[in-house]
Amino acid sequence: MTISASHHLLDQAMLIKQGAEAKVYSLDSLLPQPTIYWPPSGPSKPSSTAQIQQTTAPKCSVILKYRFKKQYRHPALDLSLTRSRLAFEARALARCTRAGVVVPHVMWVDDRNGVIGMERIDGWSVREVLGGGAEGEMTVEEEDEEEIGEMEMERSKDQVDSINADETESEGWTALRSKGVTKEHLMTSIGRAIAKLHGTAIIHGDLTTSNMMVRFTPNGSEPYEIVLIDFGLSSTATLPEHYAVDLYVLERAFASTHPQSEGLYAGVLAAYAEGLGEKKWRPIQTKLKEVRLRGRKRDMTG
């Protein structure tokens, strides 16, 4: 059997981490590195080679998410799960892109082998910017006992964010601040991004500060943009309930990961309400209050 193109790519890529569902790889480019032959007499040889490499390499940087075959599952079950999840993730990302939500571009989909390739976002996750706990730590340690219940999804899987984070969190924030960005402004941008996402009837399913990236936009009107990543748990929404739960997940994430900046979350909601419009926001707001009171995870004897 010949090796599939996806596996060939994975062989070249560097494994970054093994999330809950998939292995995450980083690859410089989907295309093989071109070997260019320059005639020995060519005058501008060295400079243009350098130019080509500079222009192509950083732009094509790819994240490969490999849902490898889970041996513990029945093969039929494994195949159908991998296919449907991968297809949905790719579809959600594509729909978001079309609707103008800033998400990574899908560059490679191979549902038979469970590989999805996405544009790599250069920047920092919001969690790094706000200075949450480090990756891989027992995250619960900084969380309050009340918090943890609902927070299970937070930082759970496929944290693609740590990939791009060579810088420390303070650096991310310093860089933003140097451009005149305040935390309140950041919250507003987050709220707007989520509103835009929910405008497409897609819910993220795992909204946490780890799954939001901050990327500088040199040519944009704003100095930076929020990129939502990791749509592995996304689904389409039909009821205000779904949107409200999505928001509630983020609310818990804020409370547990950034206890010091919990007050900032109000800014997210305000911007969200504004972005969605009064008419759509009202039912979600009512539902959100309900969801907060629900407390499935709490003791019901009171």
Q: Which residues bind another protein (CB under 8 A)?
A: 18-21, 70-74, 76-77, 80-81, 136-141, 143, 145, 148-149, 152-157, 205-206, 233, 296-301
Nearer to another protein, 155 or 258 (CB): 155
Which among 158, 135, 139, 117 is positioned nearest to 21, based on CA atoms? 158
End-to-end CA distance of the chain: 61
Nearer to another protein, 47 or 71 (CB): 71
Nearer to another protein, 19 or 199 (CB): 19
- Please give the Cα distance from 187 to 275 (Å, whole number): 13
Minimum Å gap between C-beta 136 and another protein is 5
Q: Could you tell me the sign of the dihedral formed by the alpha carbons of 170, 175, 180, 184, in that order?
A: negative
Give the residue carrying structure tokens 């292995």: 23
- Please give the Cα distance from 194 to 196 (Å, whole number): 5
Nearer to another protein, 3 or 138 (CB): 138
- Please give the Cα distance from 64 to 10 (Å, whole number): 8
Minimum Å gap between C-beta 299 and another protein is 5
Nearer to another protein, 37 or 72 (CB): 72
Alpha carbon distances (Å) from 154 to 27, 112, 248, 279: 26, 29, 11, 30
Give the residue carrying structure tokens 């930076």: 224
Minimum Å gap between C-beta 194 and another protein is 18
Minimum Å gap between C-beta 229 and another protein is 16
Interacting residues of 22 by C-beta distance below 8 A, sequence separation 6+? 65, 66, 67, 68, 114, 157, 158, 232
Nearer to another protein, 145 or 166 (CB): 145
Residues 158, 206, 230, 246: which is the catalytic one?
Answer: 206
Minimum Å gap between C-beta 144 and another protein is 9
Active site residue 246: no
Minimum Å gap between C-beta 157 and another protein is 6
- The catalytic site residues sit at 206
